[in-house]
Structure 1
């Protein structure tokens, strides 16, 4: 059996629609101003971003959960964005296709804001 790591991603409605259009299988390519794709390591951190930042920026925010092959993620170090509770992976935009290939199963929405 393939060992996986559970990751979360806070997202807004536009990105979520693109994920839905993919059959809940892949993250869309980054925009030119988005050089990094950053999934986070805890649901709590994803909730904070989705409920605070995504709602403010686009009127709604979503928390997604998905599994990624551990052997793929092992080549990346967990990054801390301000504190130990803000742990995330930094996936360069040009490596997103490989990251998407390492997703096991489907991307699912676990929370939405406003509730």
Structure 2
């Protein structure tokens, strides 16, 4: 899975990776997301992530819920319009997930993510097992919508 553009953005000598821990048949991943991206996921029947935009060369699910919550709270709920971040959780076939190195982008035991090149996202989506689930949300200052506390979805969703 060699990509020249990825080597340009993240030179091999700057790469920080850790080995995969033992895995079963599937791997649980999380993704912090905006309302717009969540609407696109819903349009697929909660089965797929939408294609990346031209300025998004990678899709990056994260390997733990705390990190997903941190991004949803500190980034999505502060910088998105509307100012809200959702935490999603989903399962991926382990044989596909482990093809991607675990990238460390901060604290080694917390800030771990996979870098799935945009051109490989369709294949990655095929490996999703079951639905993509919304498990939490963070509404930022100025969010005027109402969120269902059980589903974590906007009431008008």
Higher deviation after alignment, 78-87 or 100-109: 78-87
RMSD: 1.2
Higher normalized strand content (fraction of residues):
1
Matched, 1:108 2:133: yes
TM superposition score normalised by structure 2: 0.71
Unaligned ranges ≥5, structure 2: 1-23, 140-146, 148-157
TM-score by length of structure 1 reads 0.96
Alpha-carbon separation, structure 1, partners of 2:67 and 2:53: 23
Residue 68, structure 1, aligned to residue 89, structure 2: no
**Over alpha carbons, which structure has the higher Rg?**
2
Q: CA-to-partner distance for each residue in 1:36-86, whole Å, 9 max, x for gaps?
A: 000000000000000110011110000000000001112111000122110
| Separation (CA, whole Å) in 2 of partners of 1:57 and 1:97 | 27
User: Structure 1: 5+ residue runs without aligned partners?
Assistant: none
Question: For 2:106, which of 77, 82, 90 is the aligned residue?
Answer: 82
Q: How many residues align?
A: 114
Higher relative contact order (CA 8 A, sep 6+): 1
**Following superposition, which runs of at least 4 residues in structure 1 exceed 6 angstroms of deviation?**
none
Matched, 1:97 2:119: no
Rounded Cα–Cα distance in structure 1 between residues aligned with 2:62 and 2:52 = 16
1:12 deviation in Å?
0.5
